[in-house]
Amino acid sequence: MNSEQHPASVLVVEDDEHISQVLRFMLERQGYQVTHLADGRAAASHIATAPAPGLVLLDVMLPYIDGFELVRMIREQAAWAGVPVLMLTAKNTERDTVRALDAGANDFVIKPFQPNELLARVRRHLPAGA
């Protein structure tokens, strides 16, 4: 099986179990392979040791290490540096949006998100089956 036949992979870092289940369901229905991590410490370890995914969906407020710090870690890892990062947050403030983009995020989605809008943003950075 060559690499073009592998489903596009998405790393979801989200501590809310309900939201992470909804994200997994939505993404897998679209043909993405999903890896879920529930806190910043697990995500930091994954970033340091695992191969880069096609895209990262990253919550801002996480236990142990927040999403802003994780984006910085992603951008510092050579293999991960070009991976698109979409940040998810319940905080709808310009300051947080600017902080996320300045940290290296490619896009920013406010919770509660509209499923079709989120999927369109994911597809913009990572076509399904890519």
How confident is the model over 97-115, as pLDDT tens digits? 888 899 999 999 989 999 9
Integer Cα distance of 85 and 104 in angstroms: 8
Query: Residue 65 corresponds to which amino acid?
Result: I
* pLDDT, tens only, 24-68: 999 999 999 999 999 999 999 999 999 999 999 999 999 999 999
Q: For the chain, which residues make up each domain, given as ranges?
A: 7-125
* pLDDT, tens only, 7-24: 699 999 999 999 999 999
Q: pLDDT tier at 121 (50, 70, 90 boundaries)?
A: very high
To which CATH superfamily is domain 7-125 assigned? Answer: Response regulator (3.40.50.2300)
3-state secondary structure of 48: helix
pTM exceeding 0.75: yes
Q: Scanning the structure block, which residue is given the tokens 């939201």?
A: 19
Integer Cα distance of 99 and 22 in angstroms: 26
Integer Cα distance of 59 and 17 in angstroms: 12
Integer Cα distance of 9 and 25 in angstroms: 14
